[in-house]
Amino acid sequence: MKWLVIGSIGLPMPDIFGRLQQGGLPHLNSSNSAKTSDAKKAYNCIAWAAGDTFRWWWPIRRPGVNYWPKAPRLETIEAFIAAFETLGYRKCNDGAKEEGIEKVVLYAKLHRGTLIPTHAARQLDAGQWTSKLGIHEDVRHDTVNDVAGPAYGEPVCYLGRPRPSTNI
Amino acid sequence: MTRVLSVLTTTLACSGILSAATWVVSGEEPSPQNVRAAPVAMEYVLNEPPPIIQPQFGFVVEPCIQDTCKFSQLVEDWQRERGVSSSTSESILESSAYLSILAMGPKAVPLILTQMNSEGDDPDQWFWALQLLTGVNPVPEESDGNFNEMARYWFDWAADAGYIW
């Protein structure tokens, strides 16, 4: 436990991983992941996986709420795949690191008997993954399973495309 | 005299003749100036109805302290309920706190605008609520999802519509 001294009162330092574990990411910890940004509400995990840090991506049909590319505005795996296909991604077999290929993994969980997309993570050059956690921080994590759990469910689909020359 | 004092202290606060009431209540020695003022004040109070402050109706809805407190609590609850979810459906439509804000009706609009203003360059997802509560969408399609731009469009619209936040 780290302590932050404010005046003469010692208070426990906010533990990002404790908070995230309580929030439904039980596998995330300081040995398999690291915070890489401050919390920001401007973009979400789908936007972050797609390389956009200015918009919140979600297939809401009502205009004036969220951004969604030219793809079906449905909360289905197929619609999310179609959204990433607009960026040049195509389905691939797994999340194994491949030279020159940038990969994205989609997560989903069962909701009333239907598989609903919940999260996306993008593979980094070194083979690790990067996730934006809702309105919270970006984290780098070693494996796709590090953010699996009650909040996001399980990884269900991988997509890949030739890696762009620069990465955010 | 007691009755006059009572009437004065309960009705003169907004009438612009408070100085006369002060003289009557304080019991200070009458001067030529306040001797003239006192009868005018009493006559005004006894013979004329108290001034009526017209409430302002229209788009401007002044939230009361109780609503402000309730709203603040709901905002806090919403942040907790949404957790790490990126899903707008999950974090809004399945959030009892967000739905409770919607249930507050039009009086929530200035509270939302105040909250969104306080969030500076990192505004939260208030746009769905604003749409449902006002019945309009001032955001052009090309700005969908860009919360900073969306917030600016909403502030411009709200200012034109007469909202104060």
The pLDDT value recorded for residue B63 is 64
Tell which wins on pLDDT, B106 or B12: B106
pLDDT in tens, A44-72: 999 999 999 999 999 999 999 999 999 99
Considering only the beta carbons, identify the residue of B84, B125, B128 that sits closest to A20: B84
Contact B127 A65 (CB under 8 A): yes
Number of CB atoms found within 10 A of residue B114's CB: 16
Round to whole Å and give the CA distance between B98 and A148.
26
Distance from B66 to chain A by nearest Cα, in Å? 28
- As a whole number, the mean pLDDT across chain A is 90
**For residue A141, which of A12, A21, A28 has the smallest C-alpha distance?**
A28
Tell which wins on pLDDT, B128 or B37: B128
pLDDT in tens, A125-158: 999 999 999 999 999 999 999 999 999 999 999 9
The pLDDT value recorded for residue B30 is 43
Residue to substitute from A43, A55, A115, interface B, most B β-carbons within 10 A: A55
pLDDT in tens, B18-29: 333 333 333 344
Considering only the beta carbons, identify the residue of A20, A41, A60 that sits closest to B147: A41
Nearest CA in chain A to B145: A66
Residue to substitute from A16, A45, A62, A116, interface B, most B β-carbons within 10 A: A62
pLDDT in tens, B38-57: 434 444 444 444 444 444 44
pLDDT grade, residue A23 (50/70/90)? confident
Q: What is the ipTM of this complex?
A: 0.87
Over residues B90-115, the mean pLDDT reads: 96
Over residues A79-92, the mean pLDDT reads: 98
- Tell whether the model's pLDDT for residue B6 goes beyond 60: no
Round to whole Å and give the CA distance between B138 and B155.
10
Q: What is the distance of C-alpha B153 from the center of its chain? A: 21
Q: Which residues of B touch A44 (CB under 8 A)?
A: 86
The pLDDT value recorded for residue A165 is 74
Torsion A22-A23-A26-A30 (CA) sign? negative
Task: Please tell me the pTM assigned to this model.
Answer: 0.76
- As a whole number, the mean pLDDT across chain B is 75
